[in-house]
Amino acid sequence: MVHFFEAMSINLDKDIRFIKGVGPAKARDFARLGIKTLSDALYDFPFRHDDLSNKLEIADVVPGQKVTIGGTIATITNRRSNQSRKMMVTEAIVQDGTGAIKVVWFHQGFLTKTLRVGTNVSLSGKIDDRYGLSLVNPTYEVTGNARKTMHTGRIVPIYRLCGGLTQKVRRLVVEEALKSIDGEVVDYLPKDIIEHEQFIDLHTALRAMHFPNSTKTQEKALRRLKFDEFFLHQILHSKARRELKKQKASVVKFDKVYIKKIIGQLPFELTAAQKKSLFAIYKDMERDEPMNRLLEGDVGTGKTIVAALAAINTAKDGWQSAFLAPTEILAEQHAKGLHKMFGDKLTVALFTRTKRFVSGVKVTKKQMLDALKNGKIDLAIGTHALLSDNVLFNRLGFIIVDEQHRFGVKQRQSLKDRRGDADGIPHLLSMTATPIPRSLSLVLYGDLDCSILDEYPAGRKIIETHIVTAGRERIYYKKMRDQIDAGHQIFVVCPLIEESDALGVKSVNEIHDKYKKGAFKNHTVGMLHGKMKADEKDQVMQAFLNKEIDVLVATTVVEVGVDIPNATVMFIEGAERFGLAQLHQLRGRVGRDEYQSYCFLHPSEKLTPLAKERLQAVVQSNDGFKLADKDLKLRGGGNIFGTAQSGFEAFKLGSFADMDLITCARDYAKDVLDEDPDLKPWPDLNTRVEEYIQEIHFE
């Protein structure tokens, strides 16, 4: 990720492999977090801070306090634990001018080589008095006479981790990055906005987001950087909308008689919401202004059928359609399903990195490219492979993007046809199952045409949802085994045990082993997590689709994924850790067929009244939009879509609960663009906006 630096920037672009204390092995772990340069580390903010600024003399400490003490190592030794010979216990006595205290570390025998007698240390931790006054497993730091501490005695940042990374290594890399920001990071926000809103400058904000000297400074930094996110977001959306309105689009005539006949032949009745959305799409595409419509609807409300019927009308008028899916498996599933349903009305092609089919028949890459270029394919369904430079359509009039936040702003430009601009700009339909609260949607995307599918097709069974309280797990495991015995399959979704465990590997491994050795030892238990390569994930999902796996233990990578009609149970571990909208989307992974399906919410800890109210809301409602609104009210400043904030841009700091700040950013963005749409008075801002387009997934 590149951020806005002056042309001579070299320091922040430095590969972190060459930072002291990192090296190739740790650099690989950093890369898994998306961090390859000092710039990346600078903008990968901590997810929380721990206040270790309560510095006390040893004589003043009290049991239960979280404190920082400074002193000298008087003695330090290793011994084997009385409970387990495998456990190494390191014990030290640390003293200052007022007294001495016992310090204990477990599994850290190497400390006797680092913290020798006479070493000055700073220690942060909780005072324990079970075996006499002591500090157990404190954070330690060797201190010199004048050295300012980084890991103790202050408000310290806590970052995402994976592999062999530690908080200390993460902080050291960020400290290195912060040395360069004055000469390299440009404050691009217009000065009058900074003055009017009394924002702190960007350099101060970046420092305080990592190493604040007070909670007040931290709050000011957070406000400034959140505003920056929302402001760039609003500038980009507004610019894109204004540019789009200048373009001419492919005019696709609506053949009402033909479409009415096809709808009448469907083996099911369209919902009123589907019919309303379809009519809006047809009318949009008849105009010479490019359609930019968002189709929102819960999983199972029939978004794909709406898109397919729009593509059929497009083909009838001699135009081609492209359908971009977020994963190869999902693209394949869409292609098979639509060929089966509409193969007599549409020539459907599947074009992914590894698979190429036209009307269900395997073809070579050359045959596929020729068929697209010659107009023999009506609907091409694929992944990023469709965006390659050598892919040329004959007359591309319509683009469908499934789970639109997974594709970038330039995708519409990347899909080309042989006549170029002579055919006009293709119409765009973005589809998402992420329920955005209506109040928020108006603020964020006020000018975006939006259709909402808020009805389920007739005959679809409501998914039964239950909270699995502690001690009652066996009852629900039995229900799950009964479903497997009936020939069905189970999803088990795990949270991040710690937010720092960015890939969820620890959580999935532990629960996979627990299920495999325990309640489901007689069944096939599979595993899926963020550390796996794309091909490995596809293999696991394909095996699950082929019914070779009974129970799939996974992180939320299944949230937007393959359709498994045979899966009838969604068991969510640590359910209180998820946003309501995310729980609802996970629940939507089951109940895809005529079978009665279930969602079991299993909290990992005793529920607070607020957490209980939130989970009870999921039990009581199957309406994703109502749940999104409820979570917005209940969780306040929290991230209502979970860690990844599914749908649209994943703001790093801001959440969709920051309505006042979002509104403020929208108003300033409008003022700036009204004054000059090309941002000429603000060259720094213009450069930053251009970079922002490259950084995010935006449509």
What residue spans in the chain does CATH classification 2.40.50.140 cover? 54-153
Q: Whole-prediction pTM value?
A: 0.73
CATH no., domain 250-453: 3.40.50.300
For residues 572 and 618, the answer to whether their CB atoms sit within 8 Å is: no
The answer to whether the Cα torsion of 210, 212, 216, 220 is positive or negative is: negative
pLDDT of residue 475: 95
Q: Give the integer Cα–Cα distance in Å for 499 and 506.
A: 11
pLDDT digits (tens, 9 = 90+) for 151-206: 888 899 999 888 889 899 999 999 999 988 887 889 999 999 999 999 999 999 99
Strand 320-324 with 88-95, pairing: unpaired
What residue spans in the chain does CATH classification 3.40.50.300 cover? 250-453, 464-621
**37 φ/ψ angles, rounded to the nearest 5 degrees:** -125, 170
Choose from 34-48, 308-322, 383-397 the range with maximum mean pLDDT: 308-322
Confidence of residue 699 (pLDDT cuts 50, 70, 90): very low
pLDDT of residue 437: 65
* Burial status of residue 335 (CB atoms within 10 A of its CB: 0-12, 13-18, 19 or more): buried
Neighbours of 696 (CB within 10 A): 19
- Residue 296: strand pairing partners: 432, 452
Q: Give the integer Cα–Cα distance in Å for 550 and 474.
A: 18
**Residue 351 falls in which region: left (phi positive, over 0), alpha (psi -120 to 50) or beta:** beta
| Residues with Cβ within 8 Å of residue 150, at least 6 apart in sequence | 141, 156, 171, 172, 175, 211
pLDDT of residue 548: 95
Mean pLDDT calculated for residue range 63-85: 89
Lowest-pLDDT choice from 126-135, 216-225, 380-389, 553-562: 553-562
Q: Is 342 helix (H, G, I), strand (E, B) or coil?
A: helix
Q: Give the integer Cα–Cα distance in Å for 471 and 469.
A: 6
CATH no., domain 464-621: 3.40.50.300
Residue 411, pLDDT > 50, answer yes
| Residues with Cβ within 8 Å of residue 209, at least 6 apart in sequence | 45, 46, 218, 221, 222, 225, 653
Residue 418, pLDDT > 90, answer no
Q: Give the integer Cα–Cα distance in Å for 504 and 121.
A: 34
pLDDT digits (tens, 9 = 90+) for 478-500: 999 999 999 999 999 988 755 66
pLDDT digits (tens, 9 = 90+) for 616-641: 999 998 887 778 777 766 654 333 33
**Residue 636 falls in which region: left (phi positive, over 0), alpha (psi -120 to 50) or beta:** left
Q: Give the integer Cα–Cα distance in Å for 464 and 480.
A: 13
Residue 471, pLDDT > 50, answer yes
pLDDT of residue 669: 93
pLDDT digits (tens, 9 = 90+) for 273-303: 999 999 999 999 999 988 888 888 877 788 9
Q: Give the integer Cα–Cα distance in Å for 431 and 416.
A: 21
For residues 300 and 588, the answer to whether their CB atoms sit within 8 Å is: yes
Q: Give the integer Cα–Cα distance in Å for 331 and 161.
A: 32
Confidence of residue 456 (pLDDT cuts 50, 70, 90): confident
CATH no., domain 54-153: 2.40.50.140
For residues 381 and 348, the answer to whether their CB atoms sit within 8 Å is: yes
Residue 32, pLDDT > 90, answer no
Mean pLDDT calculated for residue range 414-441: 75
pLDDT of residue 261: 95
